[in-house]
A and B are shown apart, each in its own frame.
Chain A
Amino acid sequence: MRATLRFWRHLYGENPLHLLAMVGCFALVGYAVTFVFPGPSALALGIWFAGAVIGHDLILYPLYAFADQPLVVLRWARRRVLPRRPALVPAINHVRAPVLGAAVLGLIYFPTISQRGDAAFTFASGHSMVGEYANWLLITGVLFLGSAVIYAIRLGVALRRPRPPVTAPEEPDEVTEARSGAT
């Protein structure tokens, strides 16, 4: 029995229950798909399903990964230029947090902010979503302002604390710095 299992594992790469779970998944997914394929909306559904994956994995994800790079590079550059003066309070996350907040709201409420749904909304409700984007801009402003205020407070607290002498006895390890920063 043990030898059989081991042989199976060498062949398949996982234990047999794994295969059972996969078969269950494909059976359910296949059954669900039979309700729309073949059918008039099958193509549009397929395009949107694939589009959702491609849109996130190959467009949205690289965008936000690259959006973070300037911050990482700036931080690295700052360390190179001012090696003996570590930042009292690193600013990087005071930029990241409001950007993230504004971005996630912008994404979730995109149909409203972009007013794409306005015609249907007006037809259904007699009201309009035109101008709601201003609320998003307002919230974005508040997030950045709040982050800046917290940063200022932290900076103030750090400045009041006694600082170690500027010529720190321990030299930063240049090799390590260069390696870890070389993104």
Chain B
Amino acid sequence: MTTVGRAGAGEAGDTAAEPAAVVVDPVVDPGEDGAVVEEPEAGGTGSGEPASSERVAPEPEYGFPRALWRGLARIPVPPPADPRTWRSPLRGTWLTSVFGAVLLVGLPIVILTGLLSFIAYGPQFGQALPADVGYLHLPFFDWPSNPSWLYRLTQGSHVVGGMILAPVVLAKLWSVVPKLFAWPPVRSAAQLLERLSLLALVGGILFEFITGLMNSQYDYGWGFSFYTAHYYGAWVFIGGFVTHVAVKLPTMLRALRAGPGGTGALGRWLHDSPAETEPEPMDHTGLAALAPNKPSLSRRGLLGMIGGGSLLVGLLSVGQTWDALRPLALLSPRGQSYGNGPNDFQINRTLAGSGINPTALDDGWRLRLTGGSSEVSLSRRALLDMAQHTATLPIACVEGWSVTRTWTGVRLRDLAALAGVPNPDTAFVQSIETSGAYARATLQSNQVLNPDALLALKVGNPGEETVDLAPNHGYPARIIVPALPGVHNTKWVAAVDFRPA
């Protein structure tokens, strides 16, 4: 027989004040032997009860008014509030802590890359959405244009990372579901507040996953702007997440360090077969089952299944942003084969969708460069006669997919010099397209001056010969800037205004 204090929650120093702190915790193996002798300990909650093989939940700590909470707790309740509803022998503080530890590493990556995407869109130019976010943003800085795969990496991590974490989030929620229905619903003012903060945590993460997954698959049936929802939803989640970590981190660390039955032998629980799997001991977190079923799955098996689920999702999703693995992206709309030609790659705005009259792309098209003392007008022929530069660059979408192409065209900095503004502070690019949020974009100085930043005229498979851009890819000319979010690489460019400092 073992006795446990309130090691699971709260401060050890205060527990001596309450007799309820010492409880009986018989380790029962219901699958093998029902005859576990339990010696009720004087002063413990088990003292009045007959010896039995039942597991006993430790008396929880109650706040003011204690009599009310304790009275409520004694009322017999039907399922699902009855703790006997929850029978998985695998649930417990240790298991929840394992999922928690994975999410504690993974979710900050998803959060930070999401907030970085906001910066990458150029909030200083009012072109990040939502436009005015008050203090809710990372410190502003000029988004780098080097390395060229930066946005591909951050946004790929955000979207694919979130998808990979989805099975872990579901598993974590499964592991704590008895708490949702726990009776009494609250035991103190502290717990009432904490449960409200959990609404921000759980509601936040589910809301973020649902809006993110729907948006990346073109399902916009909400009735609100995705950017507004996903951005402020993220901050609601961040509030819940940071608070939850602050409150629960000690519990998690203690459970992971203590391991099975306080032995610290992490390997033992992972080694057990289903038949050897013992239920987790009951403690103050209230996660372990009061009346566990005989295990049909080992801890190793459960963690393997969740990890396998994440691996499966990862394998089928990473291809949308990793060219070599594209054939594996069987379920991603952006994983489809577009063919093998130089212009056969993902389109995010078709010419038909842009509303541009195709005759505007004919020989009469001229590029207007402004900002200097006089306006410069260039035909496509004139652009092709300028010094041509070729660069192999990825184009990466906020939706998490990306693709590498080789682009040929005129360096933006050459155009800036031609316009008479060799060191522009910003460049304002306008498309022939007039409707739509991305018919224009402002580029930072570093994005204009990067030697690989181009007004592309041609495109091709990576490392291969380039051909004229197809109309759907922005013929006669489009912007391509390293590490710039895809939609800011304006297609069907009509004019560039170089603005001096």
Contacts and interface: CB of A to CB of B under 8 A. Distances in A.
B336 A127 contact: yes
Contacts of B194: 14, 18, 22
A116 to B, nearest CB: 4
B133 A35 contact: yes
B209 to A, nearest CB: 8
A126 B199 contact: no
Given A13-B61, A41-B228, A32 B218 contact: no
Interface stretch (B232-240, B264-272, B414-422): B232-240
Contacts of B135: 31
Contacts of B187: 13
What class of interface size applies to chain A in its complex with B? 35 or more
A155 interface: no
Contacts of B223: 41, 44
Interface string A68-89: 0001100100000000000000
Contacts of A14: 10, 63, 188, 190-191, 194
Interface in A108-155: 108-113, 116-118, 120-121, 123-127, 129, 132, 135-136, 138-139
Nearest to A133: B331
A34 to B, nearest CB: 8
Interface stretch (B27-35, B100-108, B426-434): B27-35
B306 to A, nearest CB: 8
A6 B243 CA distance: 23
A76 to B, nearest CB: 9
Contact of A15 (B11, B17, B34): B11
B242 A25 contact: yes
A179 B333 contact: no
Given A13-B62, A72-B296, A124-B347, 11 more contacts: A9-B63, A22-B193, A32-B236, A33-B232, A41-B224, A56-B173, A108-B213, A112-B333, A121-B217, A126-B347, A180-B293
Interface of A: 5-6, 9-15, 18-19, 21-22, 24-26, 28-29, 31-33, 35-36, 41, 44-45, 48-50, 52-53, 55-57, 61, 71-72, 75, 90, 92-93, 96-97, 100-101, 104-105, 107-113, 116-118, 120-121, 123-127, 129, 132, 135-136, 138-139, 173, 175-176, 179-181, 183
Sorted nearest first, the 8 A-B pairs with minimum C-beta distance are A13-B188, A13-B63, A117-B218, A41-B224, A111-B219, A14-B190, A111-B217, A13-B190
